């Protein structure tokens, strides 16, 4: 059962938040990397993407927290399904967010035909192809009709307006005592205070998955056929 729900867009520190939540005892934390590591998870999401009533206990079975798309796109549904869970809206400078998300979209490996990829990574690419219609619907809802994951990022003005609109919607929808608007640069104290746990002593807040490390991960995946994440998952 979820105890912490992520509501932030991708590229707002969600990988760092995954590591932080797992360090604080709110793990495992669901993140898009879980789909890459476990391609069979796509089956959990396909019915959700059609708009059908979701069995969230099944979709997120075994996880205590969530970050990043696809789960953060469904922050409203998750906050209703788990009314006792706290919600963390990760934010960052909108311009830097735009540049980072644009890099992610432009260099993603999902457009490569599986038969042209190393054998070890083919299941991941097949999974992402199956998930593509759902991701397209998510992108169109956020950035407007006509946009899909096969395109470049929308222009900055349009994308940043969508970013601000999302932040405002989340803030207006949840009570202050249930929502933390959080920039990962603020470190342990605000997050731990919100979650009611002690911050780790003498341990820096994780800062993972910057644009360069993300690109290295994609490059290794396509040239060496192996997935390498900034940290090892708990399971």
Task: Write out pLDDT tens, residues 187-213.
Answer: 999 999 999 999 999 999 998 866 666
Beta bridge partners, 86, equal 4
Which pLDDT score, from 0 to 100, does residue 202 have?
A: 94
H helices of 32-89, in order, are 32-37, 42-49, 56-59, 75-81
Task: Write out pLDDT tens, residues 87-121.
Answer: 999 999 999 999 988 888 776 655 567 787 777 77
Q: Is the pLDDT of residue 36 over 90?
A: no
> Which CATH number is correct for 4-224, 3.40.50.300, 3.30.1490.20, 1.10.460.10, 3.30.420.40?
3.40.50.300
Of 38-42, 68-72, 103-107, 173-177, the poorest mean pLDDT is in 103-107
Which pLDDT score, from 0 to 100, does residue 63 have?
A: 98
d(CA 13, CA 90): 7
Domain boundaries, the chain: 4-224
| Residue keyed to tokens 């922050």 | 75
pTM listed for this prediction? 0.89
- The Cβ-side half-sphere exposure at 130, using a 13 Å CA radius, reads 17
* Residue 145 or residue 96, greater confidence: 96
* Residue 120 or residue 181, greater confidence: 181
């Amino acid at each position: 059962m979820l105890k912490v729900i992520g509501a932030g867009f991708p590229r707002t520190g969600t990988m760092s938040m995954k590591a932080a939540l797992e360090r604080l005892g709110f793990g495992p934390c669901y993140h898009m990397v879980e789909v890459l590591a476990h391609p069979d998870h796509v089956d959990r999401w396909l019915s959700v993407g059609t708009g059908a009533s979701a069995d969230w206990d099944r979709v997120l079975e075994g996880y205590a927290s969530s970050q990043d798309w696809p789960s953060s796109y469904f922050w409203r549904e998750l906050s209703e399904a788990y009314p006792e869970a706290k919600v963390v809206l990760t934010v960052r400078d909108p311009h830097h967010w735009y540049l980072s998300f644009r890099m992610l979209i432009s260099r993603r490996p999902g457009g490569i035909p599986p038969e042209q990829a190393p054998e070890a990574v083919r299941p991941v690419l097949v999974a992402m192809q199956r998930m593509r219609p759902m991701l397209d619907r998510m992108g169109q809802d956020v950035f407007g009709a006509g946009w899909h994951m096969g395109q470049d990022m929308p222009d900055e003005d349009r994308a940043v307006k969508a970013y601000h609109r999302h932040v405002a919607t989340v803030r207006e929808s949840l009570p202050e005592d249930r929502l933390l608007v959080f920039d990962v640069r603020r470190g342990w104290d605000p997050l731990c205070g919100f979650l009611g746990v002690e911050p780790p002593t003498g341990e820096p807040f994780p800062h993972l998955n910057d644009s360069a490390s993300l690109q290295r991960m994609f490059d290794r995946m396509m040239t060496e056929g192996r997935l390498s994440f900034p940290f090892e998952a708990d399971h």
